[in-house]
Structure 1
Amino acid sequence: MEKHVVVIYPHPDDESFGAAGTILKFREQGVPVTYLCGTLGEMGRNMGNPPFANRETLPEIRKVELLNACRVLDMEVKMLGYRDKTLEFEDRREVALHLKQLLEELKPTLVITHYPDYAVHPDHNALGAAAIEAVQLMDPSERPEVWAQAISNNYMDVLGNPDIINDITNYFDKKMEAIFCHDSQAAGVLGQFKHVDSLESEVQEDIKKRFSKEHFYRWDFTN
């Protein structure tokens, strides 16, 4: 059993869309989970029509949403304070050293992050690369395992089948609850899912199929 799991993603909602079921599974086992969230997603595109936010108010809205989601997932959260859509321009070594310091304080046995180059968004790729570098820089005797999550359309063609496939069917409803805590972003994309019980059974099954498995690769530090 893991002693402590640290999740490293760049945006509020990455944790809920990407790993909510896995987080809930660990919490059910009594494993503490800490989320290191890179930014407050202040450059998020969805500000409503008519707008419910602007660039000045959106970060605070998304911070509240993040805290609410973390309560649903029963995990701690630390905000790293980087700016949305700029992580690719940060000095990677500096970000890695920042993360290394936090990891050495938290002492996780497992880190979950994005798989660099296969995570679609530049922030995902950049923070995933920095997280893996941070673990690489740690003393090998203290180094946690890393699960890297790829989300690009072609990742299986290049990387092969994932090493870990978590069936999170039992946590599906709770995962949806966490996703919808991020209402400012999820409403536009997943508005229909809020009433999933009223949708046709085929649509319900498609939604559950898409969201009831979470895939990860074990990062190999020997290569």
Structure 2
Amino acid sequence: MPVQPRPDHDVERALVVAAHPDDADFGAAGTIAGWAAAGIEVTILCCTHGEQGARPEADITQIPALREREQRAASATLGVTDVRFLDGHRDGWLVPSFDLQRDIVRVIRDVRPQRVLCQSPERWYERLQASHPDHLAAGEATVRACYPAAENPFAWPELGLDFWHVGELWLMAHPTPNHAVDTTEHFDRKVEALRRHASQTGHREDLETFLRRAGEGVARRFGLAERHTAEQFCVIQIN
């Protein structure tokens, strides 16, 4: 059943958590651009540096810095300048450990977002590539960080940051989405953001066509006007 999230004008800060560079842009770039345009302060947090996202002949030692630069450039096209990366968590080996949860809690308590967007911890079998194990792990750790850890004053008090209640959680790549954002106005920004991830998308001449087809498919499923694009989420209120 569709849900109506909190109006954007009532949200001051949002945190987007993803396993790898480019994950947030594939799943939510149009939505993020819309939030930034509405005056929401958006922070993007990558749990890894995406070092396994390279071709076999690549110098793996250069990939983390490259992908960090690409993510910062992509985020800038969406109006986001606060881009953060966690250290100590390996691409391809991500698990929802207490260390990962603590690191995400630290960012939540620092940013103090009313809204958190992350990857779904539930596997989407109809589109398995959206449910990479790292995505599931990042999603599970973020959900646990939002509730109950970030708002529990007895969880990691040694962080030295006041506890914080996240009111709204958005899950991308969820098997049963209940909300769609019309991204037509920001579709070009989404394409440009993903082109900034050249190490991942530079070989795709069909990138814009692929993104438009996917976006229009979501729009149709949610009853939006023809030729509109949209991104879909499962939105959960945390009371």
Q: Scaled by the length of structure 1, what TM-score is found?
A: 0.81
Residue identity in the other structure for 1:77: V
Q: How does 1:128-147 map to 2 (within 5 A)?
A: 128-136=139-147, 137-139=149-151, 142-144=164-166, 145-147=168-170
Closer, same or farther: CA 205–178 of 1 in aligned 2, 3 Å: closer
Greater helix content: 1
1:191 Cα deviation (Å)? Answer: 2.2
Q: Distance in 1 between matches of 2:115 and 2:212?
A: 32
| 2:36 pairs with 1:33 | no
Q: Distance in 1 between matches of 2:212 and 2:44?
A: 30
Q: How many residues align?
A: 200
- Counterpart in 1 of 2:159? none
Q: Distance in 2 between matches of 1:12 and 1:66?
A: 6
Q: 1:172-194 CA deviation, whole Å, 9 max, x = no partner? A: 11100000000110123x32236
Q: How does 1:114-125 map to 2 (within 5 A)?
A: 114-118=119-123, 119-125=130-136
- Counterpart in 2 of 1:10? 19
Residue identity in the other structure for 1:149: M
1:207 Cα deviation (Å)? Answer: 5.7
Stretches of 4+ aligned residues off by more than 4 angstroms: none
Q: Distance in 1 between matches of 2:105 and 2:132?
A: 23
- Counterpart in 1 of 2:236? 219
Closer, same or farther: CA 170–102 of 1 in aligned 2, 3 Å: same
Q: Distance in 2 between matches of 1:148 and 1:54?
A: 33
Answer whether contact 1:12 1:66 (CA < 8 A) is retained: yes
1:54 Cα deviation (Å)? Answer: 1.7
Q: Is there any run of 5+ residues in structure 1 with no aligned partner, and where?
A: 197-202
Identity %: 30
- Counterpart in 1 of 2:173? 150
Q: Is there any run of 5+ residues in structure 2 with no aligned partner, and where?
A: 1-9, 124-129, 153-162, 219-228
Q: 1:35-94 CA deviation, whole Å, 9 max, x = no partner? A: 0111111101436xxx5x321122222111111111111211011122211112xx6222
Closer, same or farther: CA 186–133 of 1 in aligned 2, 3 Å: same
Q: 1:126-169 CA deviation, whole Å, 9 max, x = no partner? A: 01000000011232793211111125xxx2xxx3xx22201101
1:206 Cα deviation (Å)? Answer: 3.0
SS at 1:40's partner residue?
A: coil
Q: How does 1:1-223 map to 2 (within 5 A)?
A: 1-46=10-55, 51=57, 53-75=58-80, 76-81=82-87, 82-88=89-95, 92-118=97-123, 119-136=130-147, 137-139=149-151, 142-144=164-166, 145-150=168-173, 155=175, 159=176, 162-188=177-203, 190-193=204-207, 206=213, 209-210=216-217, 212-219=229-236
Closer, same or farther: CA 96–46 of 1 in aligned 2, 3 Å: same
Q: Scaled by the length of structure 2, what TM-score is found?
A: 0.76
User: Larger deviation: 122-131 or 140-149?
Assistant: 140-149
Q: Distance in 2 between matches of 1:205 and 1:176?
A: 9
Q: Distance in 1 between matches of 2:216 and 2:25?
A: 16
Q: Distance in 1 between matches of 2:70 and 2:238?
A: 35
